[in-house]
Amino acid sequence: MGTVRATSAFLRGNFAPVHDEIDSERLSVIGEIPAELTGMFVRNGPNPQFTPIGRYHWFDGDGMLHGIHLRDGCASYRNRYVQTRGLLKEQDAQRAIWTGLLEPPQIEIPEGATKNRANTSLIWHSGRLLTLWEAGEPYAITLPNLETRGPHTFDNKLKFPVTAHPKVDPETGEMLFFGYSFAPPYLQYGIVSPTGELLRTEPIDIPVGVMMHDFAITPRFTVFLDLPLTYRPERVTQGKRALAFERDRASRFGILPRHGDNTQVRWFEASACYVFHTLNAYEAGDEVVLVACRMSSYDLSGANSDPESGIPRLHEWRFNLSTGMIQERRLSPIPAEFPRINEQFMGRPVKYGFASKTAATRLPRFDGLIKLNFESEGLPTTQVHALGGRRYCGEAVFVPHPDGDTEDAGWLLTFVHDEQQNQSELLIVDARNLECEPVARVLLPQRVPYGFHAVWISDAQIQATL
C-alpha cells in the first residue's frame, strides 16, 4: 500500500487514511447485539492510497468501504478499497495521478481529466449494492466480502454521472436519480425500474452548472435543488476557483412530476443558501414540503468569513403548487448534518427524523445523535444521544425492527471514534429513546477514519445479491 504525508488537516488524526485491508471475526462487544439485527452495516468514505498532488480536500480520497456483519449476537469486520479504474491506474504507477477539488482541472493528462473516487455513499437496489460518487458512474460491490465488481452502467444505457444520493420509492421500488455536469446539459434526471432497468433519462434546463449533491422525492414529484454553488470557468482567468458560492444569486427549487419532462418543472425561488443533504419531502394538500440541512452559504475551502454561515441546521420549505408561494422556517437551532429517516416512509410524512449533531470543532466532527419528533405542535421536539469526551460519530443509519409496530421501532447504527483512546467502534442505539445507554458497542480491530454515508443490508438481501 502507498503512504500519505500529512500535509492537510484532513490527513491527520482520525481523518488520516488506513492502508491495511483486513478481516476480523468475533469482535469484542460491550452490551448485547440484538438477535434481530442480522445483516451488514457498510460505510463509505475517503481514504487516499497515495500521497495527494497539491492541496488535499476531504472529498478527494479514494473510496474505502468498512463493513460490520452482525449475526446471532456476534460481529465481524472487513474493509476494502473500491477498485475503480482510476485507482487501478494509480496502483500500477505506484503514485497519485489526479489532483483534487482545490487544484485546477487536469484537462490534458492522457488518463483523463477526472478520477471517479467512488467515495461518498452506497445504495441497495434491485439485488445490487452500488457505491457512489457524484461525478461518475456507480460501482457494483459484492457481499459480504466487499470486493469490487466494476462499473455499473445499466447495460451501457447510462451516459451521465449519477448523484451520490439516489432515492428508492418504498412502494413502487423505482430508483430515482440525477446527474449534474459543469458543461451542458447541466442537469439530467433518470428513472430505474424495480428490476434495475434504466427506463428513461430527461435533461432538465438550469442556467449554469451547480454542485447539486442531493434531491428529494414524493409519491408524485421529484424536487431538484438549483443552489448558488456555481461553476464558472471564467473565474479561473481571474485567479479564482471555478466553483464558488454566489451570495447574490437566489436558490431555486424545481418540482417535477415524477414521470414528467423538462417543460413541466415548476421553479420556486428563495434566499441564497446551500444544502448538502435532504431529510425527506412529502405532499400536504396543495403543498410539497421539503426538510433539509440548510447553510446560508458554503465555501469549499472552509474559508467562510462568517463561520456561522457554514453551519447546517434542519430547515423546512413549503411550496404551494396552487398559489406559487413559498414558506420556510428553521426547525431546530441544533447544528446537524447527515439526516436520515426510516426509509420505509421515504417521500411520505414522517413522525421522526434523525441526524448527527455537529460539534463545535474546526473540522467537521459530530458529537452526538439527534431525534426529532414532528408530531408535536409547532417546532419538533428533540432528543439527543451525547457521546461525551472526545468521541465523535458519523452518519447514523436507521435499521427497522423486523417486528416493529411503530415508525421508530428499531436501532441507529453509526461508527464512533474515541480520539483520546484511539479506538473505533460500531455504536448501536435504541431509536425509540436516544437518551438511554447504548444497546451495544462493537469494538473494532483497527481505526476507522471519519467518512461519509452508510447503508444497512439485511442477510436476506445479501443472500439475494445478483
Q: Report pLDDT digits (tens) over 377-433.
A: 889 999 999 999 999 999 999 999 999 999 999 999 999 999 999 999 999 999 999
**In whole angstroms, what separates CA 306 from the centre of its chain?**
25
The pLDDT score that the predictor gives to residue 114 is: 85
The residue extents of the domains of the chain are 9-463
Instruction: Tell me 406's DSSP state.
Output: S
Q: What is the chain's mean pLDDT, rounded?
A: 95
Which is nearest to 290 in space by CA: 318, 269, 259, 314?
Answer: 318
**Residue 44 grid cell:** 463509505
Spatial contact of 389 and 371, defined as CB atoms under 8 Å apart: no
Spatial contact of 288 and 352, defined as CB atoms under 8 Å apart: no
CA separation for the pair 368, 391 (Å, rounded):
9
The pLDDT score that the predictor gives to residue 344 is: 97
Q: Which residues contact 122 (CB under 8 A, 6 or more apart)?
A: 42, 43, 44, 65, 129, 130, 131, 132, 141, 453, 454, 455
Phi, psi of 85 (to 5 degrees): -60, -40
The CATH code belonging to domain 9-463 is 2.130.10.10
Which is nearest to 266 in space by CA: 219, 223, 216?
Answer: 223
The pLDDT score that the predictor gives to residue 378 is: 84
Spatial contact of 19 and 11, defined as CB atoms under 8 Å apart: no
The pLDDT score that the predictor gives to residue 373 is: 97
Which is nearest to 220 in space by CA: 193, 266, 257, 175?
Answer: 257
Spatial contact of 108 and 77, defined as CB atoms under 8 Å apart: no
Q: Report pLDDT digits (tens) over 310-337.
A: 899 999 999 999 999 999 999 999 999 9
The pLDDT score that the predictor gives to residue 5 is: 60
User: What are the beta bridge partners of residue 352?
Assistant: 373
Residue with cell 404551494: 320
The pLDDT score that the predictor gives to residue 109 is: 83
The parts of the chain modelled with pLDDT lower than 50 are 1
Spatial contact of 394 and 454, defined as CB atoms under 8 Å apart: yes
Phi, psi of 144 (to 5 degrees): -90, 10
Instruction: Tell me 89's DSSP state.
Output: H
